[in-house]
Amino acid sequence: MRNGGEIGIQQDQLGGKMAKRASRPAGKARKPDRVNGKSLSPQKELSELLKCRFPEVFVEGKIDGDKLRQSLGEELDTNNERYGLSWAGKAECFRHIQETTTATLRPRRSESVDFDKTENIFIEGDNLEVLKILQKTYQNKIKMIYIDPPYNTGNDSFIYPDRYKEEKEDYELRAGIKDAEGLLTKDGFWRKNSKDAGHFHSNWLSMMYPRLFLAKNLLREDGVIFVSIGDEEMSNLRCIMDEIFGEENFLGMITWKARVKPVNIGDAKYRPQREVEYVFVYQKEYHEGVFQRLITGSMRTYPHDLNGRKYRLATILKSNRGANIRSTMVFELDGYTPPDGQRWQAGEDVIRQLHHDGYIEFREGTPLIRYFEDEEGAEHDPFYCFMEVDWSSTSEAGKNQLNEILGDRHGFDTVKPTRLVSTLVQSCTKSSAEDIIMDFFSGSCTTAHAIMSLNSESSGNRKFLCVQIAEPCEPDGEAFKAGFSTVADIGKERIRRAGKKIKKEMEGNLTFDKNRLDLGFKVFRLEESNFKQWRENVRTGEELKEQMRMFVDNVKKGAGSEDMLFEIILKNSRFDLNVKIEKQSFAGVDYYRLATEDPSTTLRAGSEGTEKIKAVSGNKRIHHEEKEGHEGKTNANEIICLDTKITKKFVDKVLEEKPERFTCLDIAFKNNDQLKTNTALQMESAKIEFKVI
Ligand SMILES: C[S@@+](CC[C@H](N)C(=O)[O-])C[C@H]1O[C@@H](n2cnc3c(N)ncnc32)[C@H](O)[C@@H]1O
């Protein structure tokens, strides 16, 4: 049984971990672990790693600097003068990285499209908090990150880092500074960083550093990050990227022509035209083949497979009207004759030979021709650091694209073109792999749009994970007048409309497997936890009593089952937000079964102990080998029960299902300590991890 979860939310915390770890009499079950309601602290993880490698440098749980120096010998630079970028507030950044969050992501079904089927995700909220929340479930799962952060032009607004000096509780209070509609207010923590404000560059660096640091943990080992930037912070960004990702992982700086029209206002007239922007590219670790050459021409991909040979499909019919009329090219093949106005593309002998050689495939009764990858020899272009407009398109075109979808009242001055993003995506992801691409400064959601389009062109399976704060639209601005309250609303509406547009364009396209195209997305919003948090700074006995009373039921008022379910998935499950969820009921108790594939197959097959079960976690397939008898039961799944009453009958059902982990509410045992103790004992002997919240 894999125990060791920390007590996170409730009063057991008072007893401390020491008491919890004390040896217990043989035959007596330990109490179930409580779900840790906090996000992962990357420093803590690093410290654990260090402890494994250098146990000798730890004294009473803390790192002894002198001992570390001795262990590393000459590897340690003890010179006070050293190379590196420093700014006002840099040390604070590390405190922020370390601070955990208890916030959660609440599902918003009404704003989503195909919530239960889609694997695309949009999260509304401050990306620092969101990155922290995702540390547990998305660590090493993201194949590519593309971000387009504020360039720090003097007109950009972002979360102001000077506020970080507050105490955590004040910060949380302040995070609640919202207007009646729940929007962030400008006098809260979202402010403009103008050039005459003190610490102009430091503010930007302090905003960026913790986000990039946390983002790195989410990247897969073979993952790549692309960061767009302008002249303003280009040199500073390079320094912090080198520091966080390592100079040796720098893959290049792409320069692309963002504007073709000259700017003739203000001082722009008196300096060279700044028509280019940059994209820094870093890999997480060296991996051969991380970066691919680009397929020239039509971005051909080969989505179909015939005995291991990849192929694409194209039409083999032509118009049979006007100058194209050829009566000898209208003939019957395998019971099919081209309809009026159409003919075969070649003569009868050629078509029959192609058919004989396996080059013709019928889909929905229509003939198509197969082009095999190994025969076509697609041409590949090197990826050049100077990106031609053909590969990137321009910002002006990006804005026109957005106009086409939302009308011209979206209020965005600069929008990235989908072509730029899709070229970057193609360079390091494969259409057939289920790669996740993240953008945590997603603005109008160009990245989501680019991925849906790319998938539709190539029968791809890439998924997006976009994060955007609810930045309020200016009340006198065009977007507000057009009905958008926040930039996040603009992003969500773009995804909805782009999805519909692509679907329409795909209608009638037989070369494409429409059922596989994911044009939906799940919306989540950053919110406070659904569970009451145990205050660590209780000072008086009265406060303690009040806290104990509050914790008789630690579920906050108004917390919905699905809200709690996703919070538990994020904080205490090995699955991610795309886990397949099946709601079930047994003997009057409601519960959820989770598995990355259809949970009913995984669980049922598991309890019979007869089949080889595969469960998919992120991009890694986990195979559970078939074994005999009780031991052979497969448990690659979890059960979560949020019912407020649990019965013995239900506990027996869970034992029979034999999930890997079972989580339920502490209050579900009401005052029945005996049932709780027995459940803990039975779960332990059945090797089921048992957690309460
Ligand atoms: C330059 S824009 C991105 C534009 C986007 N690439 C596009 O094509 O539409 C940067 C976006 O980051 C958002 N942003 C800034 N700080 C953020 C934060 N802390 N969390 C989430 N989003 C943030 C801003 O609201 C803005 O929409």
pLDDT in tens, 594-604: 986 655 555 44
| 443 close to ligand 1 (CB < 6 Angstrom) | yes
| 159 close to ligand 1 (CB < 6 Angstrom) | yes
The pLDDT, as a whole number, for residue 69 is: 81
Atom number, ligand 1, closest to the C-alpha of residue 446: 8
The pLDDT, as a whole number, for residue 309 is: 85
Residue 152: pLDDT band with limits 50, 70, 90:
very high
How far, in Å, CA of 490 to CA of 91, rounded? Answer: 36
Instruction: Assess whether pLDDT exceeds 50 at residue 606.
Output: no
How far, in Å, CA of 198 to CA of 316, rounded? Answer: 66
> What is the rounded average pLDDT of the residues 26-34?
64
Of 324-328, 365-369, 488-492, least confident by mean pLDDT is 324-328
| 417 close to ligand 1 (CB < 6 Angstrom) | no
What's the CA-to-centroid distance between 495 and ligand 1, angstroms? Answer: 15
Nearest CA to ligand 1 atom 24: 443
Instruction: Assess whether pLDDT exceeds 60 at residue 20.
Output: no
The pLDDT, as a whole number, for residue 600 is: 57
What's the CA-to-centroid distance between 157 and ligand 1, angstroms? Answer: 9
Residue 292: pLDDT band with limits 50, 70, 90:
confident
Q: Against a cut of 0.85, is the pTM above it?
A: no
Give the burial class of 403: count Cβ atoms within 10 A of its Cβ; 0-12 exposed, 13-18 middle, 19 or more buried.
middle
How far, in Å, CA of 72 to CA of 449, rounded? Answer: 49
Percent share of the chain, pLDDT over 70: 83
Pocket test for ligand 1, best of 469, 490, 524 (most atoms within 8 A of CB): 469
The pLDDT, as a whole number, for residue 295 is: 66
Nearest CA to ligand 1 atom 26: 443
What's the CA-to-centroid distance between 353 and ligand 1, angstroms? Answer: 56
Atom number, ligand 1, closest to the C-alpha of residue 443: 27
Instruction: Assess whether pLDDT exceeds 80 at residue 22.
Output: no
> What is the rounded average pLDDT of the residues 40-44?
79
pLDDT tens digits, one per residue of 213-246: 999 999 999 999 999 999 999 999 999 999 999 9
> What is the rounded average pLDDT of the residues 456-472?
92
Atom number, ligand 1, closest to the C-alpha of residue 445: 9
In the chain the domains, ranked by start, together with CATH numbers, are 104-292+385-525 (3.40.50.150), 297-376 (no CATH), 563-692 (no CATH)
SS3 assignment, position 235: helix
| 520 close to ligand 1 (CB < 6 Angstrom) | no
Instruction: Assess whether pLDDT exceeds 70 at residue 300.
Output: no
Backbone angles phi, psi at 378, to 5 degrees: -50, 140
Instruction: Assess whether pLDDT exceeds 90 at residue 324.
Output: no
Task: Write down how long the chain is.
Answer: 693
pLDDT tens digits, one per residue of 492-537: 999 999 999 999 988 877 666 667 799 999 999 999 899 987 766 6
Nearest CA to ligand 1 atom 9: 444
How far, in Å, CA of 196 to CA of 362, rounded? Answer: 67
The pLDDT, as a whole number, for residue 433 is: 82
The pLDDT, as a whole number, for residue 381 is: 76
Residue 6: pLDDT band with limits 50, 70, 90:
very low
The pLDDT, as a whole number, for residue 227 is: 98
Range picked from 389-398, 487-496, 567-576 for highest mean pLDDT: 487-496
> What is the rounded average pLDDT of the residues 146-171?
73
Which tokens go with 462? Answer: 């890439």
Which tokens go with 595? Answer: 């598995």
What's the CA-to-centroid distance between 209 and ligand 1, angstroms? Answer: 16
The pLDDT, as a whole number, for residue 182 is: 52
In the sheet where 304-306 sits, what is the strand order?
Answer: 304-306, 309-315, 366-372, 360-363
- The alpha-helical segments, DSSP class H, found in 63-146 are 65-72, 90-98, 127-137
SS3 assignment, position 308: coil
Instruction: Assess whether pLDDT exceeds 60 at residue 490.
Output: yes
Atom number, ligand 1, closest to the C-alpha of residue 412: 9
The pLDDT, as a whole number, for residue 281 is: 96
| 193 close to ligand 1 (CB < 6 Angstrom) | no
Determine contact, residues 205/170, Cβ cutoff 8 Å: no
Backbone angles phi, psi at 331, to 5 degrees: -150, 170
Nearest CA to ligand 1 atom 16: 158
Pocket test for ligand 1, best of 441, 447, 453, 486 (most atoms within 8 A of CB): 441
Of 42-46, 162-166, 347-351, 361-365, least confident by mean pLDDT is 162-166
Nearest CA to ligand 1 atom 2: 443
Instruction: Assess whether pLDDT exceeds 90 at residue 29.
Output: no
Of 277-286, 298-307, 469-478, least confident by mean pLDDT is 298-307
The pLDDT, as a whole number, for residue 230 is: 97
Instruction: Assess whether pLDDT exceeds 70 at residue 477.
Output: yes
| 189 close to ligand 1 (CB < 6 Angstrom) | no
Q: CB count, 10 Å around CB of 649?
A: 11
Atom number, ligand 1, closest to the C-alpha of residue 439: 6
The pLDDT, as a whole number, for residue 13 is: 31
Secondary structure in 3-state letters for 172-216: HHHHCCECCCCCECCCCCEEECCCCCCCHHHHHHHHHHHHHHHHH
Backbone angles phi, psi at 619, to 5 degrees: -100, 0
What's the CA-to-centroid distance between 185 and ligand 1, angstroms? Answer: 16
377: left (phi over 0), alpha (psi -120 to 50) or beta: left
How far, in Å, CA of 431 to CA of 413, rounded? Answer: 31
Atom number, ligand 1, closest to the C-alpha of residue 416: 8
The pLDDT, as a whole number, for residue 543 is: 77
Of 123-137, 292-306, 409-423, 663-677, least confident by mean pLDDT is 292-306
Percent share of the chain, pLDDT over 90: 52
What's the CA-to-centroid distance between 229 and ligand 1, angstroms? Answer: 13
Mean pLDDT of the chain: 83
| 122 close to ligand 1 (CB < 6 Angstrom) | no
| 215 close to ligand 1 (CB < 6 Angstrom) | no
Of 26-35, 344-353, 424-433, least confident by mean pLDDT is 26-35
| 148 close to ligand 1 (CB < 6 Angstrom) | yes
| 468 close to ligand 1 (CB < 6 Angstrom) | yes
| 444 close to ligand 1 (CB < 6 Angstrom) | yes
Instruction: Assess whether pLDDT exceeds 80 at residue 546.
Output: no
